[in-house]
């Protein structure tokens, strides 16, 4: 069944994978296959005061709901738009005395919508909430315990005058949230800020080398084509970051999503050789040396995480430099342990305004990523963009402009021209192109003008390094 702007896709039953989505027409890289508003969505508990509860944009000053004192909005427009979904929540929070956790709030919003509209097909939905997978039967003991606690907390919060649902259906809703909750990002796509349920998108199956990507843009989730897609092709997305060995990706998928990945890249362990690369030639290290350096890398990454959590960034830099000294004679340029240290080092050094060293590490990181990632991977595009900005800060205008152009080409496909991060990147691309022309005409004058310009403006501090990875597709408890 297709309706409400979903005519270009069809739900079908796939062998061994249950339902899936397939294309009904041809798509080219960058095409939006469909854009879907959330069936229900909430802001993360930790960000309720800084993110608008309607559009999920980060704002410096938000207006608080005068009734429940919990919900925050950009302005009256966002507050009015939220009222249909917030009305019951508002009175329930006042009655309960406090707001429950994000999972409880999301389950309540789903059930209030079902109370208003019924549990059948909503406008624009290919499947109903009833039909979504919950995988409750596959839950381990710890997950079942969490489920029981969530259901108990929900029943305490749920108002007695509202429609009463059976325990089995409430458990189904929490199972759906656990397995099908999609992460929502802020307006620039840099931070995960909430979780929502998107029934149509839930039908897209996983592939480690997918033909589609997902981006949150202007209040909707967009499914965008990464390759040329022909009518009848299955539409796939990646639930996990590709920058892991096939065995690790399969373990993660089995643990979090309860299936065994049978994609070509996992079955054939494609790219694993690159991710485990060691130095070749006469100086090729022994197996014992490689094992020792990889264990050192793992131990260092744990120490780095602790230092980052405590804000000890100079300690992070020291740990990275020491680790790189041991890694460089042993590990190949695409080895994932080397790339992880390079990524952290470039990010933290940029934050500390040590741009020349950061640029060197960022360039090596990008060179490795380009050999591993899908050429139109969103995380690749973001990494190339950060490397370009770091090179610009270091005064390396030629390399910086080249990286920014490369990032722009990737993000045009993965995010589209209307996404705020792509718009920001276009401004940077135009600026660096103008600076590059000036540099090529008179290098001496370019640096003089650049120095004078930087003296007359506040130093742009790079974002504080975060322990969080780039926003992942699914919101899932580890």
* Tokens of residue 348, six digits: 């933290």
**Tens of pLDDT along 260-295?**
999 999 999 999 999 999 998 877 899 999 999 999
Alpha-carbon distance of 83 to 448, in angstroms, equals 55
**CA 344 to mean position of chain CA atoms:** 17
pLDDT the model gives residue 364: 98
Cα 313–319–320 angle (5° rounding)?
90
pLDDT the model gives residue 458: 44
Looking up tokens 């930087």, which residue turns up? Answer: 454
* Tokens of residue 22, six digits: 């397939």
CB 278 within 8 A of CB 330: yes
| Highest averaged pLDDT of the listed ranges 117-121, 123-127, 212-216 | 212-216
pLDDT the model gives residue 454: 67
pLDDT the model gives residue 190: 72
Alpha-carbon distance of 419 to 415, in angstroms, equals 6
pLDDT the model gives residue 91: 96
Task: Return the minimum-mean-pLDDT range out of 52-56, 296-300, 322-326.
Answer: 52-56
pLDDT the model gives residue 468: 53
């Amino acid at each position: 069944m297709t309706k409400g702007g979903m005519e270009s896709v069809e739900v079908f039953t796939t062998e061994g994978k249950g339902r899936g989505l397939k294309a009904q027409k041809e798509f080219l890289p960058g095409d939006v296959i469909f854009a879907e508003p959330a069936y229900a969505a909430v802001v993360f508990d930790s960000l309720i005061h800084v993110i608008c509860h309607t559009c999920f944009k980060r704002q410096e000053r938000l207006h608080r709901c005068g009734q429940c004192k919990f919900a925050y909005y950009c302005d009256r427009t966002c507050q009015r738009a939220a009222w249909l979904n917030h009305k019951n929540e508002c009175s329930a929070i006042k009655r309960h005395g406090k707001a429950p956790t994000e999972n409880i709030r999301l389950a309540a919003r789903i059930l209030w919508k079902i109370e208003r509209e019924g549990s059948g097909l909503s406008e624009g939905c290919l499947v109903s909430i009833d039909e979504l997978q919950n995988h409750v039967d596959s839950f381990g003991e710890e997950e079942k315990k969490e489920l029981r606690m969530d259901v108990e907390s929900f029943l305490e919060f749920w108002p007695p005058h509202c429609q009463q649902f059976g325990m089995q259906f409430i458990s189904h809703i929490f199972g759906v949230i656990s397995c099908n909750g999609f992460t929502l990002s802020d307006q620039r796509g840099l931070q995960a800020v909430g979780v929502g349920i998107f029934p149509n998108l839930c039908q897209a199956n996983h592939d480690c080398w997918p033909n589609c990507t997902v981006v949150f843009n202007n209040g909707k989730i967009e499914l965008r084509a990464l390759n040329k897609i022909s009518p009848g092709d299955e539409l796939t997305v990646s639930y996990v970051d590709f920058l892991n060995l096939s065995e690790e990706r399969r373990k993660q998928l089995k643990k979090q999503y309860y299936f065994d990945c049978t994609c070509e890249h996992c079955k054939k362990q494609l790219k694993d050789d690159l991710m485990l690369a060691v130095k070749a030639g006469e100086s090729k290290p022994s197996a014992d040396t490689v094992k020792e350096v990889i264990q050192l890398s793992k131990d260092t990454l744990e120490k780095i995480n602790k230092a980052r959590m405590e804000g000890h960034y100079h300690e992070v830099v020291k740990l990275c430099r020491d680790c790189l000294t041991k890694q460089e004679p042993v590990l190949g340029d695409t080895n994932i342990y080397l790339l992880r240290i390079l990524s952290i080092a470039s990010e933290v050094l940029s934050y500390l305004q040590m741009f020349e060293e950061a640029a060197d590490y960022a360039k090596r990181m990008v060179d490795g990523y380009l050999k591993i990632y899908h050429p139109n991977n969103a995380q690749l595009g973001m990494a190339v963009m950060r490397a370009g900005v770091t090179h610009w800060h270091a005064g390396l205008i030629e390399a910086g402009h080249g990286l920014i152009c490369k990032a722009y080409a990737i993000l045009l496909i993965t995010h589209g021209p209307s996404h705020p991060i792509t718009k920001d990147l276009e401004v940077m691309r135009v600026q660096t192109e103008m600076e590059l022309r000036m540099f090529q005409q008179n290098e001496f004058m370019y640096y003089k003008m650049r120095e004078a310009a930087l003296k007359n403006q506040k130093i742009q501090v790079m974002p504080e390094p975060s322990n969080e990875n780039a926003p992942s597709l699914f919101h899932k408890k580890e």
